[in-house]
Homo-oligomer: A and B are copies of this chain.
């Protein structure tokens, strides 16, 4: 049987390079890929992939884990969009995809344990990053291949993750509000347990501090990444003695709740309150006004995570890495000069 080592020997590259070619790692040059693939074909390696999969009990399946039940999470267009990105790679590589449906941390852990112990999947993509996550600890202890969308709480060097630079994005979009003359800027984010919230909030905070603006705790609200979360948050902000003139909202679906609640309260956006958002889900261009938002390239986050995971399931020795997907701000009509 032809092995990866045989292919490596013939082509003069290392076995891990051959693994990376199989996984279509973008860091391998096209020339090397061509050479290795030709050798694989020549040696008849292709047919043996299946044999190897059988021996190694590869399932050619991956698990995708959401932070809450499918019923809840899939309300937020982030998840279908990231699944689209994952799906594009899964499809190309002929893998299949198992989706979590658990609601609580314990249920999700039990699901992941079933996937791992039952050998239902080759690896797992975690679509969130939370403080003290037992799912992550379990996967690490078992040395089971996984990749995270977001930034791991600790062991940053050990865990392959795909993220945006959420700190800088939060800072840049807050600076844009400051440059537009706003001084009373509120922040609406998801749970403090989620890293994405922490990073975006740190960026917001840093922009205020750099501009010498005061820190007002009443202006910082943490709620659920849902439309209802946005509604609740805005009700609290509107009840304050001094209302903000601008709000940084860390999620487009939340922004939808913010917008409709402001409209019902007779507050006009952007005339009375300016709004900036995150994600650039497709709904952000349908709203009136259309939202100025940070495009985090959700589809790409999904695709990169699937590529990195497949690479890891093929070769466990591939070093961990951090993949930062660039963001950019899409300027629309939800901000006015103060």
Contacts and interface: CB of A to CB of B under 8 A. Distances in A.
Contacts of A86: 70
Contacts of A111: 96
A91 B114 contact: no
Contacts of A69: 87-88, 91
Contacts of A95: 101
Nearest to A287: B286
B101 A97 contact: yes
Interface stretch (A12-20, A75-83, A193-201, A241-249): A75-83
How big is the A interface, by class? 35 or more
A256 interface: yes
Given A90-B101, A102-B91, A288-B288, A84 B61 contact: no
Given A283-B286, A286-B256, A286-B283, A70 B98 contact: no
Interface string A296-335: 0000000000000000000000000000000000000000
Interface string A102-117: 1100010001001100
Given A101-B97, A286-B283, A90 B74 contact: no
A225 to B, nearest CB: 14
Contact of A70 (B90, B101, B107): B90
A70 B96 contact: no
Contacts of A256: 286
Contacts of A100: 96
A71 B96 contact: no
Most chain B CB within 10 A, of A61, A96, A283, is at A96
Nearest to A256: B286
Given A111-B96, A286-B283, A88 B71 contact: yes
A2 interface: no
A80 B88 contact: no
A219 to B, nearest CB: 27
Given A80-B79, A87-B74, A98 B97 contact: yes
Those 9 A-B pairs whose CB atoms lie nearest each other, nearest first: A70-B87, A80-B80, A91-B101, A71-B88, A74-B80, A90-B101, A87-B101, A74-B84, A71-B84
18 contacts: A61-B120, A70-B83, A70-B88, A71-B87, A71-B91, A74-B80, A74-B87, A75-B80, A77-B80, A79-B80, A87-B99, A90-B101, A91-B102, A91-B107, A98-B99, A283-B283, A286-B287, A288-B288
Given A98-B99, A286-B287, 18 more contacts: A69-B88, A70-B86, A70-B88, A71-B85, A71-B87, A71-B88, A74-B83, A75-B80, A75-B84, A77-B77, A87-B99, A91-B103, A96-B100, A96-B114, A120-B120, A256-B286, A283-B283, A286-B286
